Amino acid sequence: MNSSVSSSPSSPTLLVEQAAYGLPGVVRVTLNRPDAFNALSEQAIDELKTALTQIAQSDARVVVLAAQGRAYCAGHDMKELQATPELDFYRKLFARCSALMMTIQRMPQPVIARVQGIATAAGCQLVAMCDLAVAADTARFATSGIHYGLFCATPAVPLSRNIPRKAAFEMLMTGDFIDAAKARELGLINHMTPLDALDNDVAALAKRICDKPAAAVGMGKSLFYRQLEMGIEAAYQMAVQTISCNAIDPAAQEGMQAFVEKRAPSWKA
């Protein structure tokens, strides 16, 4: 792993672990404010964005976004929101949080949410923005701001892109929790597992991705999100360009040769 990621510092707010689960190329980033239910304070937002930006520029293959304690993330820090009731402050704060969320989507590495507890409001947004999510069967999810007179506008963006429209609207308008089974049914998470098996399942998913060529994974992630916002004709045009560039990559050439020769491909990365 190169220096750009190994220099990512841990802090009281954020823990960064290289070669997580014993897998080279897997970086685990852990929210570390369990007493505050891992709320996204200004400091937490900035530190997480900085860490992910550094990882994006490294040779890391997969990122696991985890959390300490009973809660995955309870959303924004309400004490900070209440302490500065000013429009300019709110605009800047929510813009910074949105920039963090877009960092997750724009980085070439797939990001897996490891959800061990409740994920509410911007915490639910965080899960929805991750490319993949594995949750304990005891995890619960809600866009609960409406209970406090605050519609979860920014969480609505990824939530409505992850689950059916009417289900998203109901969550946003009622603030009600859904359990892990319902979250999997709706498509908010990929897998549900007992809490004591959560790390094993996350590690298995990460390894399956690490076993694939980095170039194909990175190009594929970028194409996946960009084409979703396009009309079908433009999406096909972008897909043609992407798969053509992918096909001339040495890893793809080796994969095709291996298929022809009826053997397993031999990839360096």
CATH number at residue 227: 1.10.12.10
Token pair, residue 34, equals 């369990």
**Cβ 118 vs Cβ 71: under 8 Å:** yes
Token pair, residue 226, equals 């960009």
| 72 lies in some domain | yes
**DSSP per residue over 222-256, as a string?**
HHHHHHHTS-HHHHHHHHHHHHHHHHTSHHHHHHH
Confidence of residue 1 (pLDDT cuts 50, 70, 90): very low
| 27 lies in some domain | yes
Same domain, 159 and 249: no
Q: What's the whole-number mean pLDDT along residues 21-35?
A: 96
Percent of the chain with pLDDT over 70: 95
Confidence of residue 3 (pLDDT cuts 50, 70, 90): very low
Confidence of residue 255 (pLDDT cuts 50, 70, 90): confident
pLDDT at 232 over 50: yes
pLDDT for res 87: 93
Q: Tens digits of per-residue pLDDT, 92-138?
A: 999 999 999 999 999 999 999 999 999 999 999 999 999 999 999 99
- Angle, alpha carbons 177-92-223 (nearest 5°): 70
Same domain, 96 and 138: yes
Token pair, residue 201, equals 């399942």
How many domains, in total, are found in the chain?
2
pLDDT for res 97: 96
Domain that holds residue 245: 214-260
| 267 lies in some domain | no
Token pair, residue 89, equals 């402050």
Closest CA to 32 of 43, 21, 23: 43
**202/184 Cα distance (integer angstroms):** 15
Mean pLDDT estimate for the chain: 92
Same domain, 197 and 230: no
**Cβ 55 vs Cβ 90: under 8 Å:** no
Same domain, 179 and 248: no
Count of CB atoms situated within 10 Å of the CB of 65: 24
Q: What's the whole-number mean pLDDT along residues 8-32?
A: 89
**Cβ 114 vs Cβ 62: under 8 Å:** no
pLDDT for res 7: 41
| 240 lies in some domain | yes
> In angstroms, how far is the first alpha carbon of the chain from the final one?
12
pLDDT at 241 over 90: no
| 268 lies in some domain | no
pLDDT for res 249: 87
Host H or E run for residue 73: strand 71-73
**Cβ 61 vs Cβ 1: under 8 Å:** no
pLDDT for res 5: 41
